[in-house]
């Protein structure tokens, strides 16, 4: 849906007349009118507030509040794109505004809390509309007021020449204020950041609008492209001739895992980063907890997963090392790209692609043939079982490796403490504040601890290294 091509809502002329009449009525009143302050084309502007019938207001089809969730029902979303002002389209937006962003089939507790607050205390903050009655801010409050059968809603009115670009800017500015009540979901925030970049806004403006850092913007753009690439790769043809693919909303709930993935990839070389991305994407698709996903390193697929997967997950012989799997028209910019070239990356990619298409089919399970449904269940179950066993093996090996290094790390910490102690002894001596007896007792305890360390470290060692040899000699006379 191109915002610049969206027609005016029905009865727009009548609604404009009502809005203008109520603005004039408010100006004629004796008291100062209620206003809402917004940033308007780079300058602060006070918008006058009027009371409008709830039935005269329309949900904004471009609101970022439910942008990702619109894909939940492709048929209703297609109707929304075709005619955003129809009863069916507005009803779909109403339903989405009430639902849980992570699971649109269930209600959102935050919406129920808002509705209870409105019922008990009434509307505190005014929404914002265009002269034709399109809600710029307050879409969720409007949904709650409709459910409560409230006849009216207080709304501030944008200037009459407001464009869809203005509407998007005002919505974003209000959403990102520190006093906001209900934040965008994670994926909808990523969409908003990406849209601001594609609109050509400067990074400085975006950082200020989102009250964030360039590092966070870079991460959000990277994650948005990572998800978009996964969606592109998931596209598959069904037996009925239609196609299916994953949706942005399918990645809600994985914010921390995706953020950790970004950090891991920035610290790894390109081939290692690509291998990590493939295997962790597979774990994300299978809804593994972030605490388990962390054990997936660059060698995970070949060392732990591949031996547990069947031939259906293997890379085909025709797979080319030069094949471009990236999202068309996207310049990934600096840092690791999303195109795997090393053989281990291609092997991991093949397994992930198999699960990507299976997850796309699972999302439209009602449209699958019996054979397709059975195959999809088998693929996902086999992948989940293999991933569960693979992660368990990687975690066990990782914890063993940590235990092997634990003693050395603890000793390095002790070395630092001894250096700190040396400085404190020198300072105490220079000020004639040394407690020699107490220090001597502490040194005796250190000597006993070193003897015990030497004894345990020497067991089974036939040819000690320089460090252990020094320790053995040092404690020999204690």
pLDDT in tens, 172-191: 888 776 544 556 789 999 99
Closest CA to 127 of 138, 119, 112, 143: 138
What are the structure tokens assigned to 55, written together? 């039935």
Query: Would the pLDDT of 18 be above 70?
Result: yes
Query: Would the pLDDT of 194 be above 70?
Result: yes
278 within a domain of the structure (yes/no): yes
Same domain, 155 and 286: no
Query: Would the pLDDT of 339 be above 80?
Result: no
Q: Can you tell me the mean pLDDT for 7-31?
A: 90
The Cα–Cα gap between 403 and 395 comes to: 12
Better-predicted residue by pLDDT, 9 or 174: 9
The β-bridge partners of 237 are 243
Query: Would the pLDDT of 333 be above 70?
Result: no
Query: Would the pLDDT of 341 be above 90?
Result: no
| pLDDT tens for each residue of 431-470 | 888 888 888 888 988 988 998 998 888 988 888 899 989 8
Same domain, 145 and 13: yes
Residues 6+ apart with CB under 8 A from 303: 394
Q: Can you tell me the mean pLDDT for 45-61?
A: 96
Query: Would the pLDDT of 320 be above 70?
Result: no
212 within a domain of the structure (yes/no): no
pLDDT at 177: 66
Query: Would the pLDDT of 314 be above 90?
Result: no
Asked which of 27-41, 144-158, 381-395 is least confident by mean pLDDT, the reply is 27-41
What is the extent of the structural domain holding 471? 406-475
pLDDT at 153: 97
Same domain, 397 and 416: no
211 within a domain of the structure (yes/no): no
Query: Would the pLDDT of 321 be above 80?
Result: no
Number of domains in the chain: 3
What are the structure tokens assigned to 327, written together? 């999202």
| Banded model confidence at residue 327, pLDDT cuts 50, 70, 90 | very low
145, 172, 203 — which closes off a domain?
203
367 within a domain of the structure (yes/no): yes
Query: Would the pLDDT of 272 be above 70?
Result: yes
Same domain, 101 and 79: yes
Instruction: At 105, give phi and psi (nearest 5°).
Output: -85, -5
pLDDT at 331: 44
pLDDT at 319: 52
pLDDT at 127: 95
Q: Can you tell me the mean pLDDT for 326-353?
A: 66
pLDDT at 285: 96
pLDDT at 287: 94
| Banded model confidence at residue 4, pLDDT cuts 50, 70, 90 | low
Query: Would the pLDDT of 300 be above 60?
Result: yes
Same domain, 397 and 410: no
209 within a domain of the structure (yes/no): no
Q: Average model confidence (pLDDT) for the chain? A: 89
208 within a domain of the structure (yes/no): no
Same domain, 57 and 171: yes
The Cα–Cα gap between 380 and 386 comes to: 10
Query: Would the pLDDT of 29 be above 50?
Result: yes
176, 203, 230 — which closes off a domain?
203
Query: Would the pLDDT of 1 be above 70?
Result: no
Highest mean pLDDT among 55-59, 103-107, 269-273: 55-59
The Cα–Cα gap between 294 and 83 comes to: 45
| pLDDT above 90 coverage of the chain, percent | 64
| Banded model confidence at residue 229, pLDDT cuts 50, 70, 90 | very high
pLDDT at 182: 59
Asked which of 24-33, 375-384, 415-424 is least confident by mean pLDDT, the reply is 24-33
With residue 369 as reference, give the H or E element that holds it: none
User: Could you give the angle at which helices 87-98 and 139-147 cross, rounded to 10 degrees?
Assistant: 100
DSSP assignment of 271-334 = HHHHHHHHHHHHHHHTT--HHHHTT--TTHIIIIIGGGS-GGGSPPTT--TT---SPTT----S
Q: Can you tell me the mean pLDDT for 165-174?
A: 89
Same domain, 156 and 10: yes
Q: Are strands 99-100 and 43-53 parallel, antiparallel or unpaired?
A: unpaired
Q: Can you tell me the mean pLDDT for 37-43?
A: 90
214 within a domain of the structure (yes/no): no
For CA atoms 65, 68, 72, 73, give the dihedral sign: positive
Q: Can you tell me the mean pLDDT for 254-275?
A: 95
210 within a domain of the structure (yes/no): no
Query: Would the pLDDT of 410 be above 50?
Result: yes
402, 432, 460 — which closes off a domain?
402
Same domain, 388 and 415: no
Same domain, 355 and 416: no
**First-residue to last-residue Cα distance in the chain:** 82
Asked which of 167-171, 393-397, 407-411 is least confident by mean pLDDT, the reply is 407-411
> How far apart, in Å, are the Cα atoms of 388 and each of 282, 283, 286, 288?
11, 9, 10, 8
Same domain, 51 and 148: yes
Query: Would the pLDDT of 476 be above 90?
Result: no
| pLDDT tens for each residue of 361-371 | 998 998 999 99
The β-bridge partners of 43 are 40
Closest CA to 158 of 176, 148, 146, 170: 170
Q: pTM to 2 decimals?
A: 0.67
Asked whether 86 and 79 are in contact (CB, 8 A), the reply is yes
Same domain, 52 and 101: yes
Same domain, 104 and 58: yes
């Amino acid at each position: 849906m191109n915002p610049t091509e969206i027609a005016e809502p029905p009865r727009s002329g009548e609604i404009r007349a009502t809005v203008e009449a109520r603005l004039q009525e408010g100006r004629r009143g004796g008291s100062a009118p209620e206003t809402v302050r917004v940033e308007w084309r780079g300058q602060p502007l006070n918008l006058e507030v009027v009371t409008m019938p709830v039935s005269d207001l329309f949900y904004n089809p471009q609101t970022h509040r439910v942008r990702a969730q619109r894909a939940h029902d492709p048929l209703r979303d297609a109707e929304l794109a075709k005619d955003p002002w129809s009863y069916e389209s507005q009803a779909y937006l109403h339903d989405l505004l009430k639902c849980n962003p992570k699971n649109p089939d269930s209600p959102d507790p935050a919406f129920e809390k808002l509705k209870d607050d409105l019922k008990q205390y009434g509307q505190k903050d005014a929404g914002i509309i265009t002269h034709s009655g399109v809600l710029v801010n307050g879409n969720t409050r409007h949904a709650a007021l409709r459910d409560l059968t409230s006849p009216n809603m207080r709304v501030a009115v944008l200037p009459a020449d407001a464009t869809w670009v203005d509407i998007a800017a005002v919505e974003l500015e209000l959403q990102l204020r520190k006093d906001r009540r209900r934040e965008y979901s994670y994926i909808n925030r990523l969409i908003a950041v990406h849209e601001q970049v594609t609109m050509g806004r400067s990074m400085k403006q975006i950082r200020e609008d989102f009250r964030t850092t360039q590092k966070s913007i870079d991460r959000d753009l990277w994650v948005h492209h990572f998800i978009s690439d996964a969606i592109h790769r998931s596209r598959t043809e069904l037996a009925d001739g239609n196609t299916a693919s994953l949706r942005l909303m399918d990645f809600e709930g994985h914010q921390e895992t995706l953020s950790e993935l970004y950090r891991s990839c920035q610290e790894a070389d390109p081939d290692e980063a690509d291998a990590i991305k493939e295997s962790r994407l597979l774990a994300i698709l299978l809804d593994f907890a972030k605490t388990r996903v962390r054990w997936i390193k660059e060698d995970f697929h070949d060392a732990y997963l591949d031996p547990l997967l069947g031939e259906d997950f293997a890379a085909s012989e025709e797979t080319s090392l030069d094949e471009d799997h990236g999202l068309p028209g996207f310049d990934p910019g600096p840092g690791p790209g999303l195109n795997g070239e090393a053989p281990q990356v291609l092997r991991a990619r093949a397994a992930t692609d198999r699960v990507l298409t299976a997850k796309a089919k699972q999302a439209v399970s009602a449209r699958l043939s019996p054979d397709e449904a059975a195959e999809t269940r088998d693929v996902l179950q086999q992948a989940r079982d293999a991933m569960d066993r693979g992660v368990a093996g990687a975690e066990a090996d990782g914890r063993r490796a940590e235990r092997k290094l634990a003693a050395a790390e603890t000793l390095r910490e002790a070395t630092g403490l001894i250096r700190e102690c040396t400085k404190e002894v020198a300072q105490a001596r220079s000020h004639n504040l040394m407690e020699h007896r107490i220090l001597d007792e502490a040194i005796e305890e250190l000597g006993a601890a070193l003897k015990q360390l030497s004894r345990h470290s020497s067991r089974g060692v036939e040819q000690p290294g320089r460090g252990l040899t020094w320790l053995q000699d040092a404690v020999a006379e204690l």
